[in-house]
Amino acid sequence: MKPLYLASGSPRRRELLGQIGVPFTVVSAPIDETPLPGEGIPDYALRLARAKAAAGFARLDGPGVVLGADTVVSSLGEILGKPRDRDDALAMLAKLSGDRHQVITAVAVTDGTRWEEACVGTHVYFREISPEEAQRYWETGEPLDKAGGYAIQGLGAVFVQQLEGSYSAVVGLPLFETARLLAAFSIPCWQQHGISAQR
């Protein structure tokens, strides 16, 4: 069995892979995440997942399987990335308040020869968020490095009224689909837990 490498710096993706008992090594894979003109959101997420996996594979010294993933939060067709500052975060929360938005997570897995991929969309419904509450949430520090300005697995969970789709995909890695992709490369779940040092 070839070793698995995770081309992501996301601690949430590390936790999710560990949750299903898949050992892996983190490999850095910096890429340009600028959307292309006219690019659809699922296409954008898949392109970034593939690019991360390819960049990670290029850093390997020997055989291995590399997993790349990307999560995109969107509202009414607009991509909501990580907020630039307080005002940007509060504007995002106001946009999401009392409405439905979509979270798309794409996963790409390669061994350098073969590719397997999946793209999972989830609808998230937020309750109303008052400006005062949004300000208090900002002051916790959680929104700053989160796409869409919130963390469903953290303090932001109190905003989520309903979910249609995959919870783990919203966190950052759809586990059902990821397990199937890894199985295609003969990497099973429920192995010994553990994360190797970053390369």
Instruction: Give the catalytic positions in this structure.
Output: 70
- Considering only CA atoms, which of 25, 31, 23 is closest in space to residue 50? 31
Please state the three-class secondary structure of the chain as a single string: CCCEEECCCCHHHHHHHHHCCCCEEECCCCCCCCCCCCCCHHHHHHHHHHHHHHHHHHCCCCCCEEEEEEEEEEECCEEECCCCCHHHHHHHHHHHCCCEEEEEEEEEEECCCCEEEEEEEEEEEECCCCHHHHHHHHHCCHHHHCHHHCCCCCHHHHHEEEEECCHHHHHCCCHHHHHHHHHCCCCCCCCCCCEECCC
Instruction: List Cα–Cα distances, 186 to 1, 2, 22, 60, 199, in angstroms.
Output: 7, 8, 12, 19, 23
